[in-house]
Amino acid sequence: MILTGIVILPLIAGLLSLAVKSQPWLERLNLLTFGAVAVLAATLAGEVQVTGVVSGLNGFLYADALSALVAGLIAFVALVTGIYAIGYFREDERIQKVTVRQTRWYYRLTPFFVFAMLLVVLTNSLGVMWVAIEGTTLASVLLIAFYNEKTSIEAAWKYIIIGSLGISMALFGTIMTYYSAVGVLGTDASASGLNWSVLAAVGDKLNPRAMRLAFLFVLLGYGTKAGLVPMHTWKPDAYSEAPAPATALLGAGVINCAIYAIMRFSALGTACLGHGFVGNVLVAFGLGSVLLAAPFVLVQRNYRRLLAYSSIEHAGIMVAALGFGGQLGALGAVLHMTFHAVTKPLVFFCAGNVQQHFGTPYLRKITGVIHVLPWTGGLFLMVTLAITGVPPFSIFQSEFTILSAGLAANRGWATALFVVGVVTIFSGFLVHMSKLNLGTPRSEAPIKGESPWKLGAMVIVAVVIICLGFWLPAPLFQLIEAATKIVGGNP
Amino acid sequence: MNTITDTPDWAPRVITLLAAGMLVVQFLMVAQRMLITNVRLFAIQSLLLAGIAAVTAWSHDNPGVYFMAGLTLAGKVFALPWFVARLVRKIRIEKEMQPWINPPTAMLLCGGFTLLSYLVARPFATAETAGANTFGVSIALMLIGFFLMINRQQAVTQVLALLCAENGLFLAAISLTAHGMPLVVELGIFFDLFVAVMVLGILVYRIRATFASIDVERLNQLKG
């Protein structure tokens, strides 16, 4: 019942909002929906801990600890982004960057976007999961083209073309998985042959030749959505052109959907092929992404694109953790996914504020944000430390776990390269962000009051980030542990 | 008097023939630069695909696949080509610019892709399904579709290339399992495809309005 509600609610809200014209009502509808989804997601997480697995709609929907965790993260991101968006778009309208008609489409598309993301993690069928991931692309492409400028249309075109190309490969992988499932289960199982609950049980009996091809194609496909190198090229464009709230949904929501899909298939691939092949491929893609992101972070001139490379890096870290494998690697991947999803929205919010106030995405044109926008500047510095993995913030913990996993898996060289990449990105970020936030502001711009909606959302996220640095609540940790067992396979 | 349906293995033969037809159409597309002709070629290819689905449904007596054949006929032979053709007329561009790689070389490359596809497909030959030939064709369609997307510089052709790659994927699902993917998944894929073409249509209009051209080559401002 809860499971059905959490998926249906945003869909209904989306359809309803097509009929609504008044902006205050659209704002309320959005906020109410995402608030309700967050409450339901928390309840679902509680229920999953008691019963292990929850299913709904005749087994069409399915939630275990991993799905419940990711659904919770998506709900959190959707809620804080919903709050922030109200302040952000009111400001955009005030400075006449967009019209009320344009903003309406943001509020109408986001419920569908969130619906697709929740369906990705809460469906039982790997086929429907594919449909939903393609759905996230389709719901978000017009959000990227939102400002309707030459550059934003270019970014949207690249996003949908590269995204569709990648996702077709994932479909091919899904078809191959289905083929090997039918080989084991016989044609009687044709309707349920893609269901995770069925596949996970017969993982070791699947046709290895077909599964090897399937895993490679799925990784290429969902890796495109996660932004792994070399399929990452859409990401800097999309992240720099979309309005800040849409970027937050992409960079903290969709990335988790893609990583979630990769986690499912890596568990399946490991069960069928053993960890050797799967681990090598994952480490190669993960490490490649971290290492390629590093030089681009160092020489970056545009802070919105900088954040995209940070996102590529974090996708790489999660995939590398999966590749290191074992319970420790799985724990690292799940922890990192959780902490990244909680931390990342604040980065996008701060960047959005800076761009909205100064009207430029170029680093060299802005200094001394902290003097002009004290809250934004301060939080920006804090979250820079948090996202690059400085203790005591929680990302340090997950990165440290991943390092231990790498050493435990006897991948010394890979671990060393991983450290080089992460440290380079840390220093690059620190240099760029201290230049941006500290120093004297260009003009004698007065200190400006910041919108309570934007500030509220930012403070909520900041409080959560700080709390998680020192204290991981017991129920959350149990959920993460249970999810780790699913990702790592029960030993 | 023997009719074709009396021959025991007529179904795989007809399917192989139709699949070969799909591949030929795909090659014609590689060489063709007139947009409207490309749209028609896509419609023909989809018609052949619908035929394969119908024959598969007949020989395995599977109503679900009949349904998918009907949907392919309605959607990919009529609705989508009609929509794309309307788009082509509205933006008033008939012929596209020179692709990156010239047609003869492109044909040669696509021949290489086909060879590669058959090599990949060979281990998956089973007696009960349509066989390795059709599966090989489906991989070739997918690869050539991807190649067309990269090689062509024109928004509408990129959309058509995506649709052709999707035809290949549908063929792969049918040829490997004889009954296609679960119906809900097939429906979802079809729905996604329709929405994707609508969204791409909106973007093509916007590109046309802001750039006064639909050459994707002009989309080159974002770097680094």
DSSP assignments along A432-479, one per residue = HHHHHHSS--SS-PPP-PPPHHHHHHHHHHHHHHHHHHH---HHHHHH
**Joined tokens for residue A22:** 């008044």
Contacts of A201 (CB under 8 A, 6+ apart): none
As a dihedral over the C-alpha atoms of residue A120, residue A125, residue A127, residue A132, rounded to 10 degrees, the angle is: -20
Tell me the DSSP string of A120-138: HHHBSBHHHHHHHHHHHHH
* Chain A residues 193-222 with CB within 8 Å of chain B: 193-194, 209-210, 213
Nearest-angstrom CA–CA distance, B41 and B165: 14
The closest alpha carbon to B22, from B163, B116, B125, B156, belongs to B163
Burial of residue A297, with CB atoms counted within 10 A of its CB: 0-12 exposed, 13-18 middle, 19 or more buried: buried
Q: Which of A127, A153, A155 sits opposite B206 (nearest CB)?
A: A153
Kindly indicate the confidence band of residue A188, based on its pLDDT and cuts at 50, 70 and 90: low
Q: Report yes or no: A464 and A344 within 8 Å, Cβ to Cβ.
A: no
- A349 close to A378: Cβ distance less than 8 angstroms: no
Taking the domains of chain B in order of start, what are their residue ranges?
A: 10-211
Kindly tell me the burial class for residue A490, based on how many C-beta atoms sit within 10 Å of its own C-beta (0-12, 13-18, 19 or more): exposed
At A414, list the tokens. 């890979």
State which residue of chain B sits closest to A296, comparing Cα positions: B224
Q: pLDDT digits over A257-301, tens only?
A: 999 999 999 999 998 888 889 999 999 999 999 999 999 999 999
The reply to whether A135 touches chain B by the CB within 8 Å rule is yes
Report percent pLDDT > 70 for chain A.
98
pLDDT in tens, B63-98: 888 888 999 999 999 999 999 998 888 887 766 666
If pLDDT is split at 50, 70 and 90, which confidence band does A55 have? confident
Q: Are strands A61-63 and A54-56 parallel, antiparallel or unpaired?
A: antiparallel
Structure tokens at A197: 């609950």
User: SS3 of A170, please?
Assistant: helix
CB A311 within 8 A of CB A227: yes
Is 0.80 surpassed by the pTM of this model?
Answer: yes
Q: What is the pLDDT of residues B176-209, one digit of tens each?
A: 877 778 888 888 888 889 899 999 888 888 888 8
Q: Do B191 and A131 touch (CB under 8 A)?
A: yes
Residue-wise pLDDT for B122-171, tens only, equals 877 654 555 668 888 999 999 999 998 888 878 888 889 999 999 999 99
Q: Which of A154, A158, A156 is nearest to A141 (CA)?
A: A156
Q: List residues of B whose CB lies inside 8 A of any A CB.
A: 120, 123-124, 142, 145-146, 149, 155, 158, 162, 165-166, 169, 172-173, 176-179, 181-185, 188-189, 191-192, 195-196, 199-200, 202-203, 206-207, 210-211, 216, 219-222, 224
Looking at residue B127, its pLDDT comes to 44
What's the pLDDT tens digit per position in A11-48? 999 999 999 889 999 999 999 999 999 999 999 999 99
Who wins on pLDDT, B157 or A419? A419
Closest CA to A196 of A74, A5, A63, A3: A63
pLDDT digits (tens, 9 = 90+) for A153-179: 989 999 999 999 999 999 999 999 988
Nearest to A194 among B178, B182, B221 (CB): B182
In this complex, do B224 and A236 lie within 8 Å of one another by their Cβ atoms? yes
